[in-house]
Each structure stands twice: as structure tokens, then as C-alpha cells.
């Protein structure tokens, strides 16, 4: 066998190391800061097309790192999307198809493995700040899912009994949401001060711009899109404060920072509900406006600056990506749906797969394969206070590369492609195997006592 001269072997070794993700030895572990907005639309960030909202700090992450233009949430509603992010798994595999409420007695099973648990096993300090929304009973809270500490509102800020929790206990029963974004920022900065001598994970999940929306006095009236824009500019300020703190600590260059949103904008809330830009529909729907979210990431010196990744990636991909960064094995006892993004982030490469199943709650509604997307027929929705009206439609076929706004149905002129996509979608659903039943997030009140009294009084009135 022909031997390779030593100097050639050395050169090959150097180049092969350069092509891999950053060193996974403990001393090289990056800090990870994941900032998550709630119901932020694709058209609400300057670098994604907003002209009436200024977001220089979020834009900085895009400029000094990577911008994802086709990044998909795991779901168009809150709790399922967060479950998908933290576990790398389709929420349907966990029975998390709807949102949890303060009266919910269920949550994400403690047996699920989050990326916080993976990182904690590698010696990370871990903190969650903000909205949790995966169950508020103690067994479902962040401290049982890999986080060392937690502070925040455990569900959506429009629900009953909005409270601040610290770890597993209620700290404040009266919450002035005008200052919630500032409060979360203070908690985030305090954690960085405390944890900066060792690798840490900081998960900051803002309750805003989910309604009701609030901006502190310093930001009220500052944007060109009313109160909603003020809210986004305060979130951008918060991002800037975190970046500044990382710089002051001298650790910015050893920190991976991600900014994203859990799903699209709540359009039925009108000027309090954000914008999907040129995308179709928003939250609660499986058109792109409901699931495609503005996402940017930076790691100075590791992610080449100014990248734009136009192919599909998903919120579930962060789980295997973080595993790769710290040399952790991806759990083999369960299906992990996310794909490692290391090649995308560090090598100007591509994601391993380009398929995605679209679900709204437990209803499977669409499928993507490369640039193509198919949607099953939909009976339409007449509209309500909480969900906008959407017209019925037949089977739809789109080429998202040419038509990201999903305006041109190509089904009739591409019957072969339509049939192929339908077969691929049905096969992908079949390959999921049996899925667990949806978790019970609440049951109806028994109002039979009031019904009895109404009937009784009505009967007395007729005498």
C-alpha cells in the first residue's frame, strides 16, 4: 500500500479539521443564547422587509452571521412549536397538538429530552427566562426539563392568572406587563453575569408581541407602526442589551446567538397582530405566513458573516445541531425529526433533507419537498374573535421558490407533479406510524346547574 508523506498527511488533517464544525472539546464549548419571540411575523423585522420598524440589533445578527429565509416552525401555534424546538421532535409524536392553559393539568412529558438536558450533561449552566407554555404544574416546568433556573410567565399573557414564577413557585401575582420585556432582559443579563465563567445556555422566550401588547414608556410612540412596532423595537433593544453584555464580558466570540419566532403573526388582531410580509395568512394556518418565521444566527469567527440560506430549515433542527456542537449523542430511543445544521452554519453547505409535514393541531394539511408544496383541500373557516376567516380551497400545489406568497395554484397544469406530491405526503404520514392521542388541555365546564335554573325560571315566567 502506498504511504502518504508526512507533510501531505498533515496538510490533509488540517484541511479536514477546518471543514468540520467547531471543536467539541469541553474548553471549546460555545455559550448558546436562544431568543424566541411570540407571534412575530415574517414582515416585522427590518432585515426581512419591514420598513416601519427599526431592528438594528437583530439585523446585526443577520449581518454578522446567517439569515434564514425559509425557516419553518414546528407548528403554527404556541405550545406545539415550543415542544418541537426544545426536543427536536414533531409535536404530534408527543401528543402536543394544542396550547396549554392555566387550567391544564397536562404538559410536555418529563420523559422528553430537551436540548437543555443535553447541554447540562456536558457541564452547561442553563436558564430559561420568559414564556414556557409546556405545562405549569411543577412536574412539567423548566427545572424538570434541564434548566437550572427559571423566571417568567408560564403560559400566554392573555390567559387567566398571569403571574411571574421563579423556579417552581409564584413570585408575583400582580404583573405589570408594561415592563415585562425589561424584566426579562434584566433576568437574562443577571444570568450572564453569574454564568460567564463556564459554558451556559440562556433561553429567552418573550411573551411579546403576543396580545395583549405592551411597551415600556421609553419605547412608546417610537416606531412608525404604532404600539405593535414599539413592542418589536423594545424586543430589539433587549437583543442589543444581551449582545452588549456578551461583549463586556469578552465572550461574544464564543457565543452562538439565535433569534427566531414560535410561529407567524396573529392577523385577526389587526394592527396589534403583526405582518407576514408577502407570505400568505398567519398564525393558526399552514400557509407559509403561519409557519415561516424570521430567523437569524451569529457566532463571530465561526459562522461566516453575511450568509443568506434560502433552502428549508426547521426549528426542530437546533436540537441535533446543539448535540453536534458539544459532541453529544443524539438520543436513539426515540425519533428525532430535526437535522444537524452544522454544514449550513459553518461550511456553506446544505441541510440533509428538504421535506416537511405541515400540521395544524392534529390535522395534517400539507407537505413540502424541495421547492414544491402541496396542501390538502380545506373547508374554510368563517372567522371568529380569535381566528381570521379563510376561504375554502381545493388541493393546492405551489412552487415556493417562484411563488413564496402561494398565490398561483399549479395543480391543474402539473398533474404528474401533483400526483407525485400526494403520494409522497401520504407515505410520509404513514411512516410516522401510530401517533399518541392529543393531550387534554382542558375540558368544558359543567353548566347544567345554570341550565336547570334557566329552565326553572322560564317555566315560572310562563305561569
pLDDT at position 461 is 67
pLDDT above 70 covers what percent of the chain? Answer: 94
pLDDT-derived band at 244 (thresholds 50, 70, 90) equals very high
Task: Decide if 17 is catalytic.
Answer: no
pTM, whole model, 2 decimals?
Answer: 0.93
Residues paired with residue 68 on neighbouring β-strands, in sequence order? 295, 309
For the chain, the first-to-last Cα distance in angstroms comes to 108
Comparing CA positions, the residue from 318, 324, 319 lying closest to residue 334 is 319
CB atoms within 10 A of CB 365: 19
pLDDT digits (tens, 9 = 90+) for 79-115: 999 999 999 999 999 999 999 999 999 999 999 999 9
pLDDT digits (tens, 9 = 90+) for 316-336: 999 999 999 999 999 999 999
**350 pLDDT higher than 50:** yes
Structure-block grid coordinates of residue 227:
404600539
Largest Cα–Cα distance of the chain, in whole Å? 108
Task: Decide if 133 is catalytic.
Answer: yes
- Asked if 274 and 282 touch (Cβ cutoff 8 Å), the reply is yes
pLDDT digits (tens, 9 = 90+) for 163-188: 999 999 999 999 999 999 999 999 99
pLDDT digits (tens, 9 = 90+) for 130-166: 999 999 999 999 999 999 999 999 999 999 999 999 9
pLDDT-derived band at 17 (thresholds 50, 70, 90) equals very low
Place of cell 407533479: 417
Amino acid at each position: 500500500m502506498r504511504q502518504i508523506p508526512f507533510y501531505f498527511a498533515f496538510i490533509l488533517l488540517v484541511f479536514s479539521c477546518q471543514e468540520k464544525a467547531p471543536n467539541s472539546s469541553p474548553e471549546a464549548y460555545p455559550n448558546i443564547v436562544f431568543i424566541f419571540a411570540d407571534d412575530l411575523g415574517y414582515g416585522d423585522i427590518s432585515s426581512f422587509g419591514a420598513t416601519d420598524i427599526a431592528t438594528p440589533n437583530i439585523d446585526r445578527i443577520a449581518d454578522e452571521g446567517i439569515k434564514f429565509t425559509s425557516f419553518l416552525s414546528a407548528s403554527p401555534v404556541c405550545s406545539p412549536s415550543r415542544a418541537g424546538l426544545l426536543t427536536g421532535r414533531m409535536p404530534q409524536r408527543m401528543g402536543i397538538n394544542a396550547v396549554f392553559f392555566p387550567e391544564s393539568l397536562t404538559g410536555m412529558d418529563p420523559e422528553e429530552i430537551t436540548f437543555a438536558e443535553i447541554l447540562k450533561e456536558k457541564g452547561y449552566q442553563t436558564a430559561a427566562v420568559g414564556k414556557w407554555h409546556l405545562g405549569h404544574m411543577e412536574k412539567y416546568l423548566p427545572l424538570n426539563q434541564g434548566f437550572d433556573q427559571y423566571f417568567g410567565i408560564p403560559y400566554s399573557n392573555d390567559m387567566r392568572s398571569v403571574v411571574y414564577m421563579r423556579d417552581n413557585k409564584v413570585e408575583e401575582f400582580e404583573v405589570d406587563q408594561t415592563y415585562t420585556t425589561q424584566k426579562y432582559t434584566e433576568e437574562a443579563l443577571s444570568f450572564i453575569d453569574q454564568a460567564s465563567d463556564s459554558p451556559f445556555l440562556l433561553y429567552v422566550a418573550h411573551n411579546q408581541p403576543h396580545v395583549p401588547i405592551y411597551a415600556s414608556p421609553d419605547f412608546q410612540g417610537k416606531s412608525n407602526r404604532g404600539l405593535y412596532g414599539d413592542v418589536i423595537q423594545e424586543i430589539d433593544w433587549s437583543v442589543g442589551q444581551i449582545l452588549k453584555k456578551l461583549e463586556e464580558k469578552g465572550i461574544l466570540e464564543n457565543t452562538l446567538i439565535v433569534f427566531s419566532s414560535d410561529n407567524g403573526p396573529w392577523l385577526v388582531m389587526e394592527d396589534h397582530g403583526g405582518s407576514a410580509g408577502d407570505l400568505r395568512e398567519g398564525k393558526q394556518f399552514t400557509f407559509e405566513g403561519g409557519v415561516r418565521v424570521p430567523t437569524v444566527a451569529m457566532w463571530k469567527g465561526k459562522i461566516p458573516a453575511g450568509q443568506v440560506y434560502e433552502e428549508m430549515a426547521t426549528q426542530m433542527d437546533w436540537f441535533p445541531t446543539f448535540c453536534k456542537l458539544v459532541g453529544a449523542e443524539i438520543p436513539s430511543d426515540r425519533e428525532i425529526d430535526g437535522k444537524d445544521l452544522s454544514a449550513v452554519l459553518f461550511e456553506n453547505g446544505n441541510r440533509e433533507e428538504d421535506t416537511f409535514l405541515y400540521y395544524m393541531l392534529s390535522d395534517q394539511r400539507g407537505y413540502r419537498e424541495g421547492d414544491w408544496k402541496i396542501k390538502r383541500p380545506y373547508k374554510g373557516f368563517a372567522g371568529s374573535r380569535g381566528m381570521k376567516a379563510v376561504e375554502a380551497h381545493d388541493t393546492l400545489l405551489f412552487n415556493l421558490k417562484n411563488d413564496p406568497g402561494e398565490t398561483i395554484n399549479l395543480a391543474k397544469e402539473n398533474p404528474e407533479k401533483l400526483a407525485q406530491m400526494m403520494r409522497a405526503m401520504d407515505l410520509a404520514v404513514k411512516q410516522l406510524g401510530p401517533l399518541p392521542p392529543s393531550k387534554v388541555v382542558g375540558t368544558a365546564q359543567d353548566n347544567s346547574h345554570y341550565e336547570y335554573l334557566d329552565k326553572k325560571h322560564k317555566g315560572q315566567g310562563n305561569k
